[in-house]
Amino acid sequence: MSSSANEAASRASAVSSMGQTIPTDAEVGHPEGVRWGMVVDLDRCTGCQACVVACQAENNIALNEEQRVLERRAKTWIRIERYWEGEFPNAKARFIPVLCQHCGNAPCETVCPVWATYHNNEGLNVQVYNRCIGTRFCANGCPYSVRYFNFWNPEWPEPMNNQLNPDVTVRTKGIIEKCTFCIQRINRVQVTAKTEGREIRSGEVQPACAQSCPTSALVFCDLNDPESAPAQLAEAEAGRSYTLLEHFGTDPGIIYLKKVDPHAELEEDSHAPVETHA
């Protein structure tokens, strides 16, 4: 662990603004219990945006009309970030899906004055909408910029309101919202499994983003389950795994697998085009 990560870990048992000690994931969690997480294989991800729309459909995310985009207030619980490398003709576009990292040491949790955001014992960074008073401290504290403030009440012109998912609260003006790992789906599977008197099966829980992903770049899993396929994948691909902004020591619940670029070390000049174009 780097020194910065050590420092972050030492701060993990932090004191909230109300003077109460915030326990760390390791303290409240169950090492042998569930820790929901995700493996994101950047070598499979094409940036096709299927996950983005799947998330908006599942989670009643307000319409991102043009003005909202221009104001930088569009809400996308999962977004595809595109980064450039090089210049024409060697320019490369790189894509990465970014969503709430459900951090074990989440900076957003320690700053909330009303405990609207907290860490549950399954590794989820949870947002309680009717506790939130809209200070936006959490959004300021999140290094991944994945918390979105509702500057307006959402509107769905009739009959578009028919599409709203009754399992998901519609958020009103003045509160923060963010990726929940589709907690409504987790709950549904847990209830079903309990009713049937069995354990949750590996792969049975599927957030909307992972379910839609054509290339299976997003795989949801219990990171503490050594038998789960994604956990095995992450283990097998240990050479490719990393976490986003690792130096912050946030202990993300999302493991990225590195993009593979067989030509990363090629001399760029060797590919300059022949100058014949008008």
Question: Tokens 């998330």 sit at which residue?
Answer: 55
Q: Which of positions 194-213 make contact with other proteins (CB under 8 A)?
A: 208, 211-213
238 binds other proteins (CB under 8 A): no
Q: Quick one: which of 5, 53, 189, 193 contacts other proteins (CB under 8 A)?
A: 53
User: Closest by alpha carbon to 230, among 44, 59, 15?
Assistant: 44
Return the structure tokens found at 33.
């219990």
Amino acid at 161: N
Judge contact between 99 and 253, C-beta under 8 A.
no
Give the residue with the Cβ less far from other proteins, 41 or 109: 41
| Total number of residues that touch other proteins (CB under 8 A) | 80
Compare residues 19 and 239 and give the one whose CB is closer to other proteins.
Answer: 239
Of the candidate spans 5-13, 24-32, 87-95, 106-114, the one that interacts with other proteins by CB under 8 A turns out to be: 87-95
Tell me the closest approach of the beta carbon of residue 183 to other proteins, in angstroms: 16
Q: Does residue 89 have a cis peptide bond before it, meaning omega lies within 30 degrees of 0?
A: yes
> Exactly one of 215, 229, 235, 247 binds other proteins (CB under 8 A); which one?
215
Nearer Cβ to other proteins (11/259)? 259
Residue 162 in the binding site for other proteins (CB under 8 A):
yes
Residues with Cβ within 8 Å of residue 128, at least 6 apart in sequence: 115, 116, 117, 118
Neighbour count for residue 236 (Cβ, 10 Å): 10
Q: Which helix H or strand E contains 177, and what residues bound it?
A: strand 176-177
The residue from 30, 82, 131, 194 that contacts other proteins (CB under 8 A) is: 82
Candidates 93-101, 170-178, 191-199, 220-228; binding stretch for other proteins (CB under 8 A): 93-101
Give the CB-side neighbour count of residue 154, counting CA atoms within 13 A: 24
Nearest Cα to Cα of residue 108 among 54, 148, 50, 80: 148
Nearer to other proteins, 13 or 90 (CB): 90
For position 6 contacting other proteins by CB under 8 A, the verdict is: no
Rounded least distance, CB 261 to other proteins, Å: 5
